[in-house]
Structure 1
C-alpha cells in the first residue's frame, strides 16, 4: 500500500515575498501570520512580505519565517492533502514537522526557533566559521578531505549535511573548510563551493548553542505525534515525545542525515512526498535519490495557492 510523507524545508528556502499569495488566498494562513507576529513581538509578516532581504537572511529571522510559512501551508491545505504516514524536516524543518504533527504548539516553536537562530549565530562569531558543499564525492573521500584539513590546520571541519548521493556539506572553522576544499580537489571532487551562511551549523562548533538551547527545549511541552517523525540526527522513525525532544537537542551540533532519512522512507514504502513550505529543494532531492534507486515516486512542493493544481 502506498504511503505518504510530509517534508519540511530548512534554512536557505527563504525569499522576500514568501507567503504573501497564500495569506491573501487563505484566511487560515493569515491567522498563522498574526499568531507569529504576536508571539515574537514584531512584524515578522511584514519582513517576510517586504524584506529587506539582508534582514530576512539573518538566522534569527530566517528560522521563524520558514517555520511560519510551512505552518501557513499546513493550516490552509491539510484537509486537502493526503494524510501523512511519516514526516521529516531538514534541520530547522524538524520544528515545522513537529508542529504539523501536533507535538509542539506553534507559538512555542516560533519563539524557540528564533532563539535557536540567535544561539547558533552567537556560538561562532561571523567570519570564524564556514560551510561548503562538496559535489560528486563519496563519503569516504569527503571524510578523508576533512581529516587532512583538520590535521594540517589544527582546526575543526566535519561533514554536516548528508543531503543526497554525492551531495555532502561540510562545516567548521573557516581556514579548515578552505583547506578541505583544496584537499577535495586532489580526490576528484567534481565541484566545491562555499555556502552563503553566517555560521558553521551542525558541527561541533555549535556545542555552545546546544548548551544554551537544551534547558529551553526541556521546558517545552511535547506531545505524541499523529505519525512517526524521521529525525535528523539518527535518521530513525520516532514517536516518543521525550525522544523527539532529545533529537532536537542533539541536532544542533549533529549532522543532518537527510540521505539516510529518505532511504528509510523509501524502504518503508513511501511513494508520495509532499514538501510543505517555501522552495522546492527537498522535492528535488527526493526525485534524484529515488531515481538512483530505480524507484518511481511522486514528489510535490506546496507553498503557494497555485500549487494546489498539482492535486488534479
Structure 2
C-alpha cells in the first residue's frame, strides 16, 4: 500500500515550532530567511520568539505554518532523496498551499506572499467579532446540512469543514451560529461550541477574498505538480495547474471536504499518512476517517528518525 503526505492548517501553530529543524538543516534555515525577504518583515522572529498573540494573527499564522511545514518537508527530502515517493499530497485549508509548494507548483516566495495576503484579506472581509466558526460534534453531515438550511439566510450559516465522522464545523455570522448551536443540541449533538478563530473561513462571506486571490494568481509562476494533490474543494486528486488554481479559488469559500478526501485516498490504495508540519491534528483525523490507517508525524527534529522508519516500513 502507498502513503500520502498531509500538511496541517491554521490552529497547529506554536511559538518555537520547527526550531530544531532550522538548527539541524541549512536548507530549512534558508527557507525562513527566504520567507523573511519575500515578506519584508521578520516572520522567523515571530515564529521562534513570539509573542503568541502576534503569531495567532491570521496574516502571520498562515505564512508561519506554511514555512514550518516546508522546513519539515525539506528535511524529509534531504534524508530520503529519490526514495521520497508519496502517492499523493493533501493539506487542510491553509495546508493545501503548503502541499502546492512541496509539489513544486509554487515557489516558496510566492507561497508565503499568497498566504500572507490570504490571511490579511480573510481578517478584513468581516468586521472583527461579527463572524465566527463553531464545531458541531456528534451529528451526521445530513443533520448539519439540515441545521444550516434552517438557519442560513440574510445571516450566514454554512458547513465549512467536514473533518471526520461526527466532527463538522460551521461558519458565518455569530448570531446565526448561535441559533445553529441551539438546534444542534436539540438534535442530540454531543457538543456545540464556538471556536477561537478570528474570521468565518470557508463560507460565502469569503467570496471577495477568493476573487482577490485569483487576481494575485496571475502575478505568480505556476508549474505542474511533482505529485498530485487531493484538493479540499473537490476531494479528488488534481494534477494540472488549471485544475489546482480553480480548486484553490473555490476552497476559499467552499467547505473543506476532508473526510471525503481521506476516504477517496483509501479507495486509491493509500493506508499510511505522514503529517508534515506542526501538530498532530490530521493524523488523528485520518484514523477517524479510515479504519486501519497508520500515521506518523514530522514536526520537528525529534520526529525525523521515526518518520523515516515509518516510510521505509512500507517499501
TM-score range, shorter chain: over 0.9
TM-score with structure 1 length normalisation? 0.95
Q: Distance in 1 between the 2:252 and 2:288 partners?
A: 27
Q: Distance in 2 between the 1:10 and 1:271 partners?
A: 21
Output one character per residue of 1:37-71: Cα deviation in whole Å (capped at 9) or x when no partner: 11111111110011111111010000000000011
1:34 is the counterpart of 2:38: no
**Residue 11 of structure 1 corresponds to which residue in structure 2?**
10
Would you say the 8 A contact 1:218–1:245 is kept in 2? no
Deviation at 1:143, TM superposition (A): 1.3
Q: Distance in 1 between the 2:290 and 2:260 partners?
A: 12
Segments of 5+ residues of structure 2 without an aligned counterpart are 310-315
**Residue 204 of structure 1 corresponds to which residue in structure 2?**
204
1:306 is the counterpart of 2:298: no
Would you say the 8 A contact 1:276–1:303 is kept in 2? yes
**Residue 228 of structure 1 corresponds to which residue in structure 2?**
228
**Residue 151 of structure 2 corresponds to which residue in structure 1?**
149
Q: Distance in 2 between the 1:186 and 1:156 partners?
A: 20
What value does the CA root-mean-square deviation take over the aligned residues? 1.1
Q: Secondary structure at the residue paired with 1:197? A: coil
1:35-114 to structure 2, matched below 5 A, reads 35-81=34-80, 82-114=84-116
Q: Distance in 2 between the 1:184 and 1:307 partners?
A: 39
Deviation at 1:212, TM superposition (A): 1.6
Match for 1:122 among 124, 133, 143? 124
Would you say the 8 A contact 1:148–1:183 is kept in 2? no
Would you say the 8 A contact 1:222–1:242 is kept in 2? no
**Residue 20 of structure 1 corresponds to which residue in structure 2?**
19
Count of residues paired in the alignment: 305
**Residue 160 of structure 1 corresponds to which residue in structure 2?**
160
1:214 is the counterpart of 2:214: yes
Would you say the 8 A contact 1:171–1:203 is kept in 2? yes
Segments of 5+ residues of structure 1 without an aligned counterpart are none
Would you say the 8 A contact 1:230–1:261 is kept in 2? yes
Q: Distance in 1 between the 2:78 and 2:152 partners?
A: 50
Output one character per residue of 1:159-198: Cα deviation in whole Å (capped at 9) or x when no partner: 0000011110000011000110001011001111110001
Q: Distance in 2 between the 1:287 and 1:309 partners?
A: 22
TM-score with structure 2 length normalisation? 0.94
Output one character per residue of 1:208-262: Cα deviation in whole Å (capped at 9) or x when no partner: 1112211101332211111211001011110011111111111111110000110
Deviation at 1:149, TM superposition (A): 2.2
Output one character per residue of 1:241-287: Cα deviation in whole Å (capped at 9) or x when no partner: 11111111111111100001101111100122111001010011111
